[in-house]
């Protein structure tokens, strides 16, 4: 079991536990075994499409915190901000990936991810050409 899958499973359990405590049932009615408490809630049967709203909120939070930290550390540049935001996007993809059914929102995330990989490739190309011409 990799660290990423362990953290993703733990994150899903925390979200499931938070959702299960928000209901109108009393605490004694909700109490069950620990496996029931941390089981991911099934929506529409056994289908798990992921949660697009939580994905967008977490990405926005990541980007806002990143921007604030880079400004506070006086390290803000477009390339660095893009790189750190892209790392956050990749982490969020791991955390919020749907298991079975892939919705339209996930296809949009895939397209954005491939676009970001293209921009990252361009940034790497610029760095390589700058170092190649600087050392010659």
* DSSP-derived secondary structure for 9-41: HHHHHHHHHHHHHTSSS-HHHH---HHHHTSPP
Tens of pLDDT, residue by residue over 45-56, are: 444 456 788 889
Reading the block at residue 128, the tokens are 């390589």
Whole-number pLDDT of residue 106? 87
Reading the block at residue 129, the tokens are 């050409």
Confidence category of residue 26, pLDDT binned at 50, 70, 90 = very low
Q: Give the global pTM.
A: 0.60
CB atoms within 10 A of CB 12: 19
Reading the block at residue 108, the tokens are 């949009």
Reading the block at residue 98, the tokens are 């749907």
Q: How far is CA 92 from CA 24, 50, 76, in A?
A: 30, 11, 22
Tens of pLDDT, residue by residue over 77-114, are: 999 999 999 999 999 998 888 877 778 888 899 999 99
User: What own/partner pairs with CB < 8 Å and gap ≥ 24 does 119-125 have?
Assistant: 119/82, 119/86, 120/82, 120/83, 120/86, 123/79, 123/82, 123/83
């Amino acid at each position: 079991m990799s660290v990423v899958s362990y953290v993703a499973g733990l994150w899903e359990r925390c979200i499931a536990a938070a959702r299960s405590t928000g209901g109108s049932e009393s605490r004694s009615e909700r109490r069950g075994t620990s496996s029931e408490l941390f089981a991911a809630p099934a929506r529409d049967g056994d289908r798990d499409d992921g949660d697009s709203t939580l994905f967008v909120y977490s990405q926005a939070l990541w980007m806002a915190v990143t921007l604030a930290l880079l400004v506070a550390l006086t390290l803000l540049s477009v390339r660095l901000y893009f790189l750190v935001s892209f790392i956050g996007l990749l982490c969020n993809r791991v955390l919020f990936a749907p298991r079975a059914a892939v919705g339209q929102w996930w296809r949009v995330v895939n397209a954005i991810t491939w676009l970001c990989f293209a921009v990252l490739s361009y940034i790497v190309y610029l760095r390589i050409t700058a170092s190649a011409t600087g050392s010659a």
